[in-house]
Amino acid sequence: MVFSSLVFLLLFLPLVLICNFSLRSIRGKNLCLCLFSLLFYAWGEPTYLFLMLFMVGVNYVLARLMEEKEKKKRLLCLLPALLVDIGAVAFFKYGDFVLINLETLLGIALPRIGLPLPIGISFFTFQIMSYTVDVYREEVPAQKSLLKLTVYVSLFPQLVAGPIVRYQTIAAELDNRQESLPLFCEGLHRFIWGLGKKVIFANGMAMLADQVYQPGQESLPAGLLWLAAVAYALQIYFDFSGYSDMAIGMGRMFGFHFLENFEHPYCSRSITEFWRRWHISLGTWFRDYVYIPLGGNRVAFPRMIFNMFVVWGLTGLWHGANWNFILWGMYYFLLLLAEKLLGVDRLERLPTALRHACTLFMVLIGWMIFRLEDLGQLGQVLAGMFSFRTGTAAYLSAHHDALYPLYLMLPACVGCLPVGRYLQSKLRKTVGAMYLQSVADVVLFALCVFMLLGSTYNPFIYFRF
């Protein structure tokens, strides 16, 4: 079940809202959210529900055992917890990848695990690990209620596509959270606009990207390949940021305050700035739980390079068990290292427009590495993008289904800018601003439902993670 499905919008979400607001006690609300969250996960993969509950149980017990222990004894509890968490991800996500590469290396046939990837395993595993590590560091007390810890891990708004919510962010709200009509309306508004980003822009851009990147179409005109690269960059942004908006919005409806996950990343003027604005919860997770423990940038320069290499190697692997993701991680490692070697002062002397254009160019190339898992196809597409092959107009006139995304491309590009925030700040000062916002929300929601009724095309990029 995905947020942009009619079952979720017209059945699941209304039911959970009715049940939640009909209860008064925080325990009743937590139990309600827990049951609906488990149902949400079991809807797609009932078997793997037990895997998630097992991981929650292991971390709950070991975190409780850490309480009031000295550091060495806490470490003895932390290590098996990490072994279970990392082991589950390694087995399901990377098991077949390792076997395939060993088979190629050794030249012998090896059996495959052949199990489907549990939905959202990378997201909920990182949440569980952050909780247990924070208890080990004595930054948070161990949660005494198994119900509350299960709610934290399985909470359906952020379960399958993030953002990665740190335990300390919502620990207090698991015990006592405030629900109000203004907060609910704020959350509903955020949810609807996130839904619009996904259904209108992400799905529209996906049509062009999916059509162009079908195998066997690598010899397309260079202009069309660049249009498809822009379309995919817009698709992944509106798909992922739209889901984050919906998650944050639903969190508000239930009284939770999730942190922001995107901050207009395509406005960035450097790769460093881009990664401060893109998938913020993942970047801060790797910073706090990998980069800083390795020494961060407070070490000798060669060691800092090693730390960056580890972080970006793991970032690439986190996104998928394929060489293109590792290559993508190394691509950003080299770009970020180059920016450190050049220095912030030198970069800031360049014209702002040039820095912005260069950043967008490098990000577009990065998305091609991310999108095309077949390295042969990737090489052909990149070569085609820098070729002089013509015929874009002829292709578009012959493929009318590619024209619809093009009509959306300009408004989608504008939507990447903080235009909405600016307009909202202006509208708040006008008479009837709330009325206008409510009307716009109703119209947008109706449009999204109408589009979902009229099409079965509703891809979701982040299921693989």
Instruction: Tell me which amino acid residue 32 is.
Output: C
Confidence label for 432 from pLDDT (cuts 50, 70 and 90): low
Q: What is the pLDDT of residue 161?
A: 83
Q: What is the pLDDT of residue 220?
A: 86
Among 186-195, 231-240, 345-354, 423-432, the range scoring the smallest mean pLDDT is 423-432
Q: What is the pLDDT of residue 42?
A: 92
Confidence label for 431 from pLDDT (cuts 50, 70 and 90): low
Q: DSSP readout, 66-87?
A: HTT--HHHHHHHHHHHHHHHHH
Beta-carbon contacts of 214 under 8 Å, excluding residues fewer than 6 positions away, are none
Q: What is the pLDDT of residue 278?
A: 96
Q: What is the pLDDT of residue 62?
A: 96
Question: What CA–CA distance (Å, rounded) separates 124 from 160?
Answer: 8
- 165 pLDDT more than 90: yes
Asked whether the whole model's pTM tops 0.75, one would answer yes
Q: What is the pLDDT of residue 104?
A: 86
How many helices (H) does the chain have, and how many strands (E)?
Answer: 24, 0
Confidence label for 234 from pLDDT (cuts 50, 70 and 90): very high
Mean pLDDT of 236-241: 94
Using an 8 Å Cβ cutoff, are 93 and 314 in contact? Answer: no
Mean pLDDT of 146-172: 92
- 428 pLDDT more than 70: no
- 463 pLDDT more than 90: no
Confidence label for 455 from pLDDT (cuts 50, 70 and 90): confident
Q: What is the pLDDT of residue 199?
A: 94
Distance of CA 323 to the CA centre of its chain: 20
Confidence label for 426 from pLDDT (cuts 50, 70 and 90): low
Mean pLDDT of 312-333: 95
Confidence label for 217 from pLDDT (cuts 50, 70 and 90): confident
- 211 pLDDT more than 90: no
Confidence label for 464 from pLDDT (cuts 50, 70 and 90): low
Confidence label for 105 from pLDDT (cuts 50, 70 and 90): confident
Using an 8 Å Cβ cutoff, are 174 and 148 in contact? Answer: yes
Mean pLDDT of 150-156: 95
- 226 pLDDT more than 80: yes
Q: Sort 311 into a burial class: Cβ within 10 Å, 0-12 / 13-18 / 19+.
A: buried
Confidence label for 31 from pLDDT (cuts 50, 70 and 90): very high
Among 205-209, 309-313, 365-369, 425-429, the range scoring the smallest mean pLDDT is 425-429
Average pLDDT, the chain: 90
**More confident call, 224 vs 430:** 224
Query: Helix H segments across 343-402?
Result: 344-349, 352-371, 375-385, 392-398
Among 113-122, 206-215, 398-407, the range scoring the smallest mean pLDDT is 398-407
Among 217-226, 233-242, 305-314, 419-428, the range scoring the smallest mean pLDDT is 419-428
Q: What is the pLDDT of residues 32-72, one digit of tens each?
A: 999 999 999 998 778 899 999 999 999 999 999 998 788 88
Q: What is the pLDDT of residue 456?
A: 76
Confidence label for 406 from pLDDT (cuts 50, 70 and 90): confident
Q: DSSP readout, 84-146?
A: HHHHHHIIIIIHHHHHHHHHHHHTS------PPPPTTHHHHHHHHHHHHHHHHTTSSPPP--H
Residue 187, CB-side half-sphere exposure with 13 Å CA sphere: 20
Q: For the chain, what are the domain ranges?
A: 6-177, 183-464
Q: What is the pLDDT of residue 114?
A: 85
Q: What is the pLDDT of residues 249-284, one digit of tens each?
A: 999 999 999 999 999 999 999 999 999 999 999 999
Which positions are catalytic?
319
Using an 8 Å Cβ cutoff, are 199 and 236 in contact? Answer: no
Using an 8 Å Cβ cutoff, are 85 and 309 in contact? Answer: no
